Amino acid sequence: MSIAAALFALALTAGYAREPVLLDARCNELAWTRAERTPIGEGVTLLAMADRRYVYLCVTLPPESLGTLDLYIQGETGAPVNLHISAQTGERTRGENGWREWSGFNNYDGWYGPPVAFSGMIEGADGVRRPQFANSQARELQISRDRFGDGPWRVMLQVHALGTARSGGVAYPADGDSNDSSTWTSLAFR
């Protein structure tokens, strides 16, 4: 199978959202029943849907996961952008010399995804207090169609901190390269 045929086989579609979506890291409300579902590996499933203004993505996670997320996205025009969600959220744009270093977080332009929830401080075996984060059932994003166009978009997902040890991870497409959008899949919606 050619690379183009393999990528076409991995193409994603989004269902049509008829109800409002609550970004609460759960993806179990009525609105998500219309989403297209794509298993992407390691117990992770991508749910995708859109309405006239937004594209909604939900990545369901295996139990005991934090589920940090990097969505690499390129619209019809413009440079590739990395949307990042962990305890810190933000975006960066790929320039001529590669991905720019993270210069700060909490920068959103036409999108939002709730961060990994802080749940307090815990003292480690070494006596140092460190932040503790809550497990999550899912990771959600809402992306404005005005920002990246009416599609299809080129996308690649990376999900990390999976499972009890929080050491698992998965990428979709599995052989996608964050530095080469031609290895990403397409996301089409109505």
Domain harbouring 9, CATH code: 2.60.40
pLDDT class of 10 with cuts at 50, 70, 90:
low
Q: What does pTM read for this prediction?
A: 0.89
Tokens 């290895």 belong to residue:
183
Sequence-ordered list of residues with C-beta below 8 angstroms from that of 139, at least 6 positions apart, any chain: 25, 58, 59, 61, 67, 68, 69, 85, 113, 159
In this predicted model, which residue has the larger pLDDT, 28 or 104?
Answer: 28
**% pLDDT > 90, the chain:** 67
Provide the domain limits for residue 59: 3-188
Number of structural domains the chain divides into: 1
Instruction: Write down the pLDDT at residue 124.
Output: 87
In the predicted model, what is the mean pLDDT of residues 26-37?
89
pLDDT exceeds cutoff 60 at 6: no
pLDDT exceeds cutoff 70 at 1: no
